[in-house]
Amino acid sequence: METETFNFWQDHSTQYLEMAFSTDRRERVEVADGYGKRTGECGDTVEFFLVVNHGIIKSITFDTDGCMNTNACANTVALLSEGKSIEKAWEITPDGIADYLQTLPQNEYHCAELAIGALYLALSNCKEMSRNPWKKAYQRK
């Protein structure tokens, strides 16, 4: 009986490969309108930095010390949320990330959950900052 082996370069979707290796959105922003940081049970951390104008996410960048799958998931979060309203960005889910990537390994689904958890923290932080803009300068990153 033949065993099927996964060929990384041939069997991953184009979306997965692009999101896994893209570094365009990896940037720390000193004073963000929304900031979220989450560390998963695996010990990896994802941080998101939102720049928001009139309730619309103008740009979203991230930093992570996580694996390639985490990078793929964080990039996808950024791609899917940029240009959306804060309310719409709450609708992005780990399933949405996995659907976009197509070939996120099943046993790495927690990387999508970690990225979404960090996004949700950034979104709620954004709300807090819009209520109390003076806090932005004191936010520690």
Judged by the rule CB under 6 A, the positions of this chain that interact with ligand FES are: 40, 42, 44, 66-67, 69-70, 108, 110-111, 114
Is 41 within 8 Å of 34 (Cβ atoms)? Answer: no
CB nearer to ligand FES: give 36 or 52.
36
Between CA 107 and CA 121 the distance in angstroms is 24
Between CA 98 and CA 113 the distance in angstroms is 10
CB nearer to ligand FES: give 121 or 129.
121
In whole angstroms, the minimum distance from the beta carbon of 4 to ligand FES comes to: 24
In whole angstroms, the minimum distance from the beta carbon of 75 to ligand FES comes to: 13
Between CA 14 and CA 118 the distance in angstroms is 25
CB nearer to ligand FES: give 69 or 81.
69
In whole angstroms, the minimum distance from the beta carbon of 111 to ligand FES comes to: 4
CB nearer to ligand FES: give 2 or 41.
41
**Burial environment of residue 66 by CB neighbours within 10 A (0 to 12, 13 to 18, 19 or more):** buried
